[in-house]
Amino acid sequence: MKKKVIILLVIFFIAFIITGCDGFTPSIPDDEYDEENTELAYIKVLPTQADMMINQSKKFEVKAYNSDNKLIAIDVSMIQWIVAYECSACGVVWKLSLTENSFQTTFTPLETGSYKLWAKYVGEENKWAKATIEVY
């Protein structure tokens, strides 16, 4: 019985490798993007809220939407990431993996308290979105 399970796992693993599926990279199907109405109405940072521990890292992502609330493609070179902490005199008490030119960033708090993680889309009309983060 053990040998059969191992053989099945090996076969599954080989099939997995051959088909090129990595199974770990989420993707948005093309049909979710609106290719007709590409005018940017607003952006969102996802997740919009998070509870974290000190030195815990979490990935955040910005998404763009049109007036029909459908995803649209935007220029990644126009994205900036900004963090605000409840104590402005405390200096930088966080790590941010990327601060510009990326749809995603990884945030790591170094102190307890309240943080705001902002994404800014710099264009003719600046668009802002934020995530609220509580660190314990």
Q: Which structure tokens are listed for 128?
A: 């802002």
Distance CA 64, CA 104 (A): 13
pLDDT band, residue 123 (cuts 50/70/90): confident
Work out how many domains the chain is built from and give that number. Answer: 1
> 120: domain CATH number?
2.60.40.1080
Range of the domain at 48: 28-135
Of 124 and 122, which is predicted with more confidence?
122
Tens digits of residue pLDDT in 45-57: 999 999 999 999 9
Q: How many CA atoms lie within 13 A of 54 on its CB side?
A: 6
13 domain-assigned: no
- DSSP state, residue 31: G
Q: Which two tokens stand for residue 13?
A: 């693993």
> Is 57 within the bounds of a domain?
yes
Model pLDDT, residue 7: 58
* Alpha-carbon gap, residue 54 to 110, rounded angstroms: 5
pLDDT digits (tens, 9 = 90+) for 22-36: 443 334 444 478 888
Q: Within a domain: residue 115?
A: yes
**Is position 35 within any domain?**
yes
Is pTM beyond 0.85 here? no
